Structure 1
Amino acid sequence: MNAQRSLHVFVLVAALIGVSGCAASPPSDPAADAAPTTASGEVAPTEPTDMSFASGASLHPDTTITMGDALGSDPDWKEVPSEAPGRWSYERVDDTCAAAFRKGPLGDAGTMTDREASDAVIAATTGWDPASLEPLLNDGAFPRYEDPDAVVDHRQFTYSVNDAGYLIAVRAFASADYSVIVTVECDSGNLEEVARDVLSKTAISIE
């Protein structure tokens, strides 16, 4: 990572510490608008709209992005009270895992792409050296709230020691100055299964 990009990582750290917003889920009924129809009156088929890292560059700065989850209605999870804006979390009822969510302004990402900014947020959040972290990162995807068949690309990092495991999944939207972060921690050796469940119940809304 060059010196300019390293500087932006530190700017991102400061922005993440002061993250703002609310923990509300995305709008409850994005499908309320009438579906497009053909000349014969039939509902026109629509193509899933994936939000790749590259397509994020075309987002307008005023794009509204938010994140919601379905763990609050899942009997396997219990909500942990939080007064921090833009942050909320849950614990498994068997106390083996915890999941935390954070959303808010990204900070000055400079000329970083969404992929690069996502990697920088992971480095800033975990405290790992960006150069050491880079080869350990993988691509993943969140469901897109507006279309369950579409996805929002993210970057993720996972590590485990004995039965303890940790996953962080991040998507930064440099053009819209926003980021979403999900972390999952388990001490029962079942991180992969639990993390897959948490990510499948997390949705990103982009309007």
Structure 2
Amino acid sequence: MNRTPLRRLGAAVLATAAALSLTGCLYAQIPESAPAAPSPTAAPSDDTTTDEPTAGTTLTFAEGAELSPDAYIEWGDGLIVDDGWKIVSPDDGNGNWTYGTVDGTCTARFWQGLISDVPIVSGDDAVSSDAILAVLLRSTTAEISPHAQTGEFSYMSGGAGGVENRWVAGEDGDRSWIMAARAFTKTGVGLSLIVDCTGADPSAVLDEVNDANAIVVTP
């Protein structure tokens, strides 16, 4: 993605809370982490920076504390070249953009930005990731944490896995969704992904999105 200025999470809350709710049935059938693809490939990017990506194959919650405070963390964009997806809404300048499947069954809503308006716990990326979910759902960390599970985003290249996240899921009739988030308390940045489907399995679609997109870290 282009390096647009990172914005506070608050700009993403209204639309998210209006679209999703925990009042539906939370379910636990979804795998705790997306399976890694056997041959991960790098997600393309139109970023023109010459910085070299940070080395490493994992970025666990604990490893987040080892990042440089100046590290730049962003979503790579692999769906832009995927014929199965189309842009539903481009980056709005607040770090929100959405892709949709061409058959109209699912959307994947991305966010990246600052977490200065999130009640983070310094040095604890796991609890702070729950706090991002809570803010997006207009809830509290205490209410969200019992429902949240630990999964993974891809790291540096699509399908590679390695970036621990926290996720919750819900369903209402034939509509179901998964919301996953990761806070990086050392840098004050967070990312989230919401897969929302009608008549389709969001866990399978989340796997597909993870195969195409990765979290990219540069010094």
> What is the RMSD computed on CA atoms of the aligned residues?
2.9
Match of 1:111 in 2: 122
Q: CA deviation at 1:161?
A: 2.1
Q: CA deviation at 1:92?
A: 1.1
Q: CA deviation at 1:28?
A: 7.8
Match of 1:53 in 2: 61
Change (3 A) 1:178 1:25: farther
SS at match of 2:135: helix
* TM superposition score normalised by structure 2: 0.71
Q: CA deviation at 1:83?
A: 4.8
Higher relative contact order (CA 8 A, sep 6+): 2
SS at match of 2:69: coil
Higher helix fraction: Structure 1 or Structure 2? 1
Match of 1:128 in 2: 139
Q: Which of 188, 195, 204 is matched with 2:206 structurally?
A: 195
* TM superposition score normalised by structure 1: 0.74
Match of 2:27 in 1: none
Counterpart AA for 1:58: E
Calculate percent identity across the aligned residue pairs. Answer: 29
SS at match of 1:168: strand
Aligned residues: 177
Which segments of 5 or more consecutive residues in structure 2 lack a partner in the other structure? 1-6, 13-43
Match of 1:17 in 2: 10
Q: Deviations over 1:64-89 (max 9, x none)?
A: 11111311111111112335122211
Mean Cα deviation higher: 166-175 or 139-148? 139-148
Distance 2:46 2:157 in 1: 10
Which segments of 5 or more consecutive residues in structure 1 lack a partner in the other structure? 1-13, 34-46
Q: CA deviation at 1:165?
A: 0.6
Which structure: larger Rg? 1
Check the 8 A contact 1:48/1:150 in 2, yes or no.
no
Check the 8 A contact 1:31/1:146 in 2, yes or no.
no
Distance 2:136 2:127 in 1: 14
